[in-house]
Structures are given as C-alpha cells and as structure tokens.
C-alpha cells in the first residue's frame, strides 16, 4: 500500500467496526482498527457463556486473527480517549498507558454501548449486567457458585436465598438468561448435589412493562410468556426494581413495595452509549439522547464533518433499534460511502433493511419475527439456529459451537461449567458472598479476609 493512501481509522471491532473494516478489504486505503480489547464479541450468545453452554473463545475470536488476511489493515490494541476533529486525529492509550495519536482522512466510530442502571450505578455491585466476556464469566461463577453455596448452607432460609435468582429486564437478554438458569436447575444439575435439590430453584423475572418481549408483538410475547411459565420462571410484570442489595431486590408494583430475597441477581435492563458518543457530540454540536447516543445525519456522519461516521449502538437515527444488524449494515454503508467518494461517485443516505428479531426461550423453543412472519416453538428455534451459525465469526468457532449445542440441547449437558478462583475473587463476587471469597474456602486454601471459614457441613 502506498504511504499516501487514504487513511481510514475504525474505532471498535464489534459488529459495526468489523463489517466496516471488511468492506474496505479491496479498497485503495490504509485501515487502522483500534479496539481496547483483543476480541470481537458475539454479544447475542453471551448468555450461553454465562450458563455453561459455550466457552468464551467460541463467541470472542481475536480481532487480529479474524482480519489476518486483510493486507491493507493493522490492528491497534488501545483505548480511544479523544478526538481532534480539526486536525483529524484520534488519541488513544495503549495498555501500558502510553498515549499516541492516529491521523485519519476518514473516521468510523463504532464503540457500542455499555450497561445502564438508570442512575443507580450502585446496583452493579449486586447485579452484574451482560455486556462483556468478563460479565458472562462473572455471572457463570455467580450462578453455578450459588448452587455450591446452597449445598454448603445449613440454614434453610439462607439456602433458599442462594437458590433464588432474580433477573431484571424482560427483553430478549432477560428472557434468555432466565430461561437458561431455569433449564440449568431443572435439567442439568439434577444429580450433582447431595444436600439440595437444584430443581427447586426459584427463578424470577422482573419488568416494568406489561409483557415480556413486548417489542415482538402480542402473539409472540404471549408464546414466550407461556414457554417461560412451563420452565417455572415466575414473571413479575409491571414491576419496577427500586433497590438491590446483597441478599435481595425491592420491587414496586401497584403502588406497593415488596422485598424478594435472592442472592444472585442479573441486570438485563437498559443500555448507555459509549462515552465517545458524547465526545463526538460536543466536538461537532450534535445532540445526544437520554441513552447518550449521538444523533447522526441520514448518512451516519456527524454535523459539519462528512469524513466522520458514528455507527451502531452509539448513534441514534430514525428510531433504529440497538441491534447487530443495524451496526453491520451501517458499517458496510460507511465504508461503501468512503469508497464511492474516492471514486468521485455520488453517495446516499443509510437505508436499513429490517431482517427481524429473535429470542430463545428454552432448548428447541424460540420466537422469531421477520417481515410480518412470526415463528415460534421448534420452527422458530431452527431459524434461530441457522441465523446464529451463519453470523458466528470463523469456521472453527461454528464447528465447536455446534458441538457445544449438541451436548447442551440433545444431551442436557453444559460443557463449560468451569469457574476460576480469579473470576470468583473479583470484587463483586466477594461482596455477593458477604465479604468472603467463597471459592477459596471451597478449595481449602486459607481465607485471607476477615470472616473466617464458611461452614462446610
Ligand atoms: C446480551 C446481549 C444480547 C444481544 N442479543 C442480540 C440479538 O439477539 N440480536 C441482535 O441483533 N442484537 C443483539 N444484541 C445487540 C448487539 O450485540 C449490538 O447491537 C451490537 O453489538 C452493536 O454493535 P456495535 O459495533 O455498535 O458495538 P459493539 O459490538 O458493542 O462493539 C463495540 C466495540 O468497541 C470497542 N470499544 C468501546 N469503547 C472503545 C474505546 N474507547 N476505544 C477502543 N475501543 C472501544 C469495544 O471493545 C467493542 O469491541 C445483544 C446485545 C447484548 C449485550
């Protein structure tokens, strides 16, 4: 590639960034893709990592490896911290803290979104969200660890608390994780314990709206509700979670507040755009919405800067949903626009092709909404299987994922049930266990914190 080639900087190696980079594969440009993590993440399957169906590697391949054949591209492991739109450069920090500038001619920012606790960030201590591999592994440790703790707990009331799971948010993520925790307890762990009956676990799903999966329409939403009911998931609708602490959640419903004891909580309710959206908005005079997303123009560029694109979960445009398909199509659109400009051709606004939405309820059951077609049950699950395999990155990942799914769906197994001391020793898990790193106690090592041993009988 010539040194004077058009320089494209892509921020983020998620769905938007990856598709933007790939679209430039044969273009006469030099691409730099910057991500603060080494992997691309297939977020729709995070709940399967959290519940032991898949390993983290299957849904999070290294970005370098995914794009290794793209000769006009280099990958930088760094966190983007600032934009200088006048000088056309981004400032990023390497893992060792060294900061550096990357100049660009065109910039595509696809930094995604994080979890939002709607002004209650303190909830995150007790109820991790599900946005990253760390979150999924943390949740795996908490969910499987809760059964271990229940097995050790002599007090019946406390044992009940350990065997109670609260999921906040009745969208696809909340429904999928609640369904999987229920399946895990009813079908997978049956024979593993001696003191407890894992199938007696209580799984509760809370949502402020009237129905689960409200965006799928009444018919599919009702089917999903019935599917969850069959699994024994309690659905608490029109219920706003007002407080969360170590041992439970407080919920407001019909003007009354009620406390539900539950040791393990999952937050699946709400997103907040990457802080980079606000930085771009401040620098360009664009608006941001309540979720912190930057309002982009019809071609996904920001005001007065046709060379800067903001795409995917961090932008707002015509009420488009925060889904992978929007990010992928916008990635392709942004890079195609750059290519057309370089050829002196006309460009146009972004047009979204809605390819529908889907969510799994349990094994062999999913709901799918696609251009007015509504599928549910086994047929829906087949469509879900096909789409997820088609979009998983890398042939090897597809192969091992099919193996994981075969074990989980045909054989009721959970091949990935490992959780490590490192995971369980993370700040939140220690707090969940009442200040004691419980896996250390389980593994028989000395407990370095105050509080001593957890009773073993
Ligand atoms: C649990 C879950 C389930 C989902 N299920 C579905 C589903 O079933 N179907 C569907 O269509 N969508 C689903 N989604 C939504 C979908 O995953 C997102 O819409 C999509 O990932 C958005 O792509 P993106 O490129 O905008 O952001 P992301 O894919 O989030 O990528 C952002 C990238 O930017 C990087 N980054 C962030 N900040 C910086 C920085 N400062 N410097 C450098 N790099 C940075 C991140 O590391 C990341 O790699 C789900 C999301 C979640 C969390």
Is residue 176 annotated as part of the catalytic site, yes or no?
A: yes
Q: Is 280 in the pocket of ligand 1 (CB under 6 A)?
A: no
Q: Is 70 exceeded by the pLDDT of residue 433? A: no
For residue 252, being part of any structural domain is answered with yes
Q: Is 50 in the pocket of ligand 1 (CB under 6 A)?
A: no
For residue 83, being part of any structural domain is answered with yes
Q: Is 36 in the pocket of ligand 1 (CB under 6 A)?
A: yes
Would you state the pLDDT for residue 424? 54
On whether both 83 and 178 belong to a single domain, the answer is no
- Domain count of the fold of the chain: 2
What percent of the chain lies above the pLDDT cut of 90?
A: 71
Question: Hey, what are 142's tokens?
Answer: 């908490």
Would you state the pLDDT for residue 406? 81
Q: Give 20 Cα–ligand 1 centroid separation in angstroms.
A: 14
Would you state the pLDDT for residue 61? 93
Q: What is the distance, to the nearest Å, from the Cα of residue 78 to the centroid of all Cα atoms in its chain?
A: 21
User: For residue 100, how many other CB atoms are within 10 A of its CB?
Assistant: 12
Q: What is the pLDDT of residues 422-432, one digit of tens each?
A: 555 554 555 55
Q: Is 17 in the pocket of ligand 1 (CB under 6 A)?
A: yes
Ligand 1 atom nearest to 312, measured from its CA: 26
Ligand 1 atom nearest to 17, measured from its CA: 25
On whether both 239 and 125 belong to a single domain, the answer is yes
Would you state the pLDDT for residue 2? 58
Q: What is the pLDDT of residues 7-61, one digit of tens each?
A: 999 999 999 999 999 999 999 999 999 999 999 999 999 999 999 999 999 999 9
> Based on the number of CB atoms within 10 Å of its own CB, is 32 exposed (0-12), middle (13-18) or buried (19 or more)?
buried
Q: Is 90 exceeded by the pLDDT of residue 436? A: no
Query: Pairing state of beta strands 301-302 and 305-310?
Result: antiparallel
On whether both 197 and 69 belong to a single domain, the answer is no
Mean pLDDT over residues 112-134, rounded?
93
Mean pLDDT over residues 361-383, rounded?
86
- Helix or strand holding residue 338 (H, E): helix 324-342
226: containing domain: 121-268
List CB contacts of 272: < 8 A, sequence separation 6 or more: 113, 114, 115, 116, 291, 292
Q: Sorting pLDDT into bands at 50, 70 and 90, what band is 454?
A: very low
For residue 399, being part of any structural domain is answered with no
Would you state the pLDDT for residue 168? 98
Q: Is 79 in the pocket of ligand 1 (CB under 6 A)?
A: yes
Helices (H) and strands (E) in the chain, counts: 15, 23
Question: Hey, what are 140's tokens?
Answer: 């795996």
Would you state the pLDDT for residue 453? 42
Distance CA 286, CA 276 (A): 13
CATH number at residue 159: 3.50.50.100
- Helix or strand holding residue 427 (H, E): helix 427-432
Residue 23 and residue 335 in contact, taking contact as beta carbons nearer than 8 Å: yes
Residue 296 and residue 286 in contact, taking contact as beta carbons nearer than 8 Å: yes
User: For residue 413, how many other CB atoms are within 10 A of its CB?
Assistant: 16
- Note the residue count of the chain: 457
Greater confidence (108 vs 361) lies with: 108
For residue 411, being part of any structural domain is answered with no
For residue 56, being part of any structural domain is answered with yes
Greater confidence (212 vs 448) lies with: 212
Would you state the pLDDT for residue 432? 59
On whether both 286 and 203 belong to a single domain, the answer is no
Greater confidence (123 vs 371) lies with: 123
Residue 193 and residue 223 in contact, taking contact as beta carbons nearer than 8 Å: no
Candidates 408, 415, 358, 404; CA nearest to 383 is: 358
Would you state the pLDDT for residue 426? 53
Q: Sorting pLDDT into bands at 50, 70 and 90, what band is 3?
A: low
Greater confidence (245 vs 408) lies with: 245
On whether both 12 and 148 belong to a single domain, the answer is no
On whether both 148 and 251 belong to a single domain, the answer is yes
Residue 286 and residue 280 in contact, taking contact as beta carbons nearer than 8 Å: yes
Phi, psi of 286 (to 5 degrees): -80, 160
Q: What is the average pLDDT value for the chain, to the nearest integer? A: 89
On whether both 53 and 133 belong to a single domain, the answer is no
Q: What is the pLDDT of residues 333-346, one digit of tens each?
A: 999 999 999 999 99
DSSP states of 378-422 as a string?
Answer: HHHHHHHHHHHHHHSSSHHHHHHHHHHHIIIIIT---S-----HH
Q: Give 229 Cα–ligand 1 centroid separation in angstroms.
A: 30
Would you state the pLDDT for residue 451? 39
What percent of the chain lies above the pLDDT cut of 70?
A: 91
Distance CA 261, CA 54 (A): 29
Task: Catalytic residue, from 176, 183, 325, 416: name it.
Answer: 176
Q: What is the pLDDT of residues 248-259, one digit of tens each?
A: 999 999 999 999
For residue 47, being part of any structural domain is answered with yes
- Residue where a domain stops, chosen among 245, 268, 291: 268
On whether both 72 and 41 belong to a single domain, the answer is yes
- Residue where a domain stops, chosen among 210, 233, 268: 268
Q: Is 50 exceeded by the pLDDT of residue 450? A: no
- Residue where a domain stops, chosen among 319, 342, 365: 342
C-alpha dist (Å) from residue 15 to 63, 395, 447: 11, 17, 42
On whether both 206 and 227 belong to a single domain, the answer is yes
Distance CA 391, CA 116 (A): 26
Q: Is 60 exceeded by the pLDDT of residue 110? A: yes
List CB contacts of 320: < 8 A, sequence separation 6 or more: 326, 352
What percent of the chain is helix, strand and coil (3-state, nearest 5)?
Answer: 40, 25, 40
List CB contacts of 61: < 8 A, sequence separation 6 or more: 39, 40, 393, 394, 397
Q: Give 113 Cα–ligand 1 centroid separation in angstroms.
A: 6
For residue 92, being part of any structural domain is answered with yes
On whether both 135 and 256 belong to a single domain, the answer is yes
Would you state the pLDDT for residue 456? 40
On whether both 97 and 19 belong to a single domain, the answer is yes
On whether both 253 and 284 belong to a single domain, the answer is no
Q: Is 60 exceeded by the pLDDT of residue 440? A: no
CATH number at residue 37: 3.50.50.60
Query: Pairing state of beta strands 113-115 and 271-273?
Result: antiparallel
Question: Hey, what are 196's tokens?
Answer: 């407890």
Would you state the pLDDT for residue 445? 35
Q: Is 70 exceeded by the pLDDT of residue 317? A: yes
Q: Is 174 in the pocket of ligand 1 (CB under 6 A)?
A: no
Choose from 95-109, 366-380, 433-447 the range with maximum mean pLDDT: 95-109
> Based on the number of CB atoms within 10 Å of its own CB, is 319 exposed (0-12), middle (13-18) or buried (19 or more)?
exposed
Q: Largest Cα–Cα distance of the chain, in whole Å? A: 76
Q: Sorting pLDDT into bands at 50, 70 and 90, what band is 125?
A: confident
Would you state the pLDDT for residue 434? 61
Distance CA 82, CA 109 (A): 12
For residue 156, being part of any structural domain is answered with yes
Q: Give 255 Cα–ligand 1 centroid separation in angstroms.
A: 36
């Amino acid at each position: 590639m010539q040194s004077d080639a058009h320089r494209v900087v892509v921020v983020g190696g998620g769905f938007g960034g990856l598709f933007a980079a790939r679209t430039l594969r044969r273009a006469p440009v030099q691409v730099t893709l910057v991500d603060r993590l080494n992997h691309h993440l297939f977020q729709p399957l995070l709940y399967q990592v959290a519940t032991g169906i898949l390993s983290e590697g299957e849904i999070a391949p290294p970005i370098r490896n995914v794009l290794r054949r793209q000769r006009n591209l280099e990958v930088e492991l760094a966190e983007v911290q600032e934009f200088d739109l006048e000088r056309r450069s981004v400032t990023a920090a390497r893992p060792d803290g060294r900061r550096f500038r990357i100049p660009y001619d065109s910039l595509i920012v696809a930094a995604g979104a994080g979890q939002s606790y709607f002004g209650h960030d303190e909830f995150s201590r007790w109820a991790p969200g599900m946005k990253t591999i760390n979150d999924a592994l943390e949740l795996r440790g908490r969910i499987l660890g809760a059964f271990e703790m229940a097995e050790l707990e002599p007090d019946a009331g406390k044992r009940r608390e350990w065997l109670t799971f609260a999921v906040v948010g009745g969208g696809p993520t909340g429904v999928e994780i609640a369904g999987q925790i229920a399946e895990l307890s009813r079908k997978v762990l049956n024979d593993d314990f001696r003191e407890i009956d894992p199938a007696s676990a209580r799984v509760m799903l809370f949502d402020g709206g009237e129905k689960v999966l409200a965006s799928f329409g009444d018919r599919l939403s009702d089917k999903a509700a019935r599917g969850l009911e069959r699994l024994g998931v309690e659905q608490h609708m029109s219920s706003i979670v007002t407080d969360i602490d170590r041992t439970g959640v407080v919920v407001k419903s019909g003007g009354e507040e009620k406390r539900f004891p539950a040791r393990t909580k999952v937050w699946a309710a709400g997103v907040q755009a990457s802080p980079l959206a606000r930085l771009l908005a401040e620098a360009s005079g664009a608006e941001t919405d309540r979720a912190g997303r930057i309002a982009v123009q019809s071609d996904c560029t920001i005001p007065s800067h046709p060379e800067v694109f903001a795409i995917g979960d961090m932008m707002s445009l015509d009420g488009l949903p925060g889904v992978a398909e929007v990010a992928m199509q916008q990635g392709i659109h942004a890079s195609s626009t750059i290519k057309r400009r370089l050829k002196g051709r006309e460009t146009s606004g972004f047009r979204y092709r809605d390819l529908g939405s889907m969510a799994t309820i349990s094994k062999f059951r999913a709901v799918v909404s696609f251009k007015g077609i509504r599928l549910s049950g086994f047929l829906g699950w087949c469509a879900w299987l096909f789409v997820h395999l088609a979009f998983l990155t890398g042939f090897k990942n597809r192969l091992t994922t099919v193996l994981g799914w075969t074990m989980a769906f045909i054989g009721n197994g959970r091949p990935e049930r490992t959780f490590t001391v490192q995971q369980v020793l993370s700040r939140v898990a220690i707090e969940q266990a009442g200040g004691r790193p419980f896996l250390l106690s389980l593994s028989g090592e000395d407990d370095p914190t105050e509080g001593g041993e957890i009773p073993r009988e």
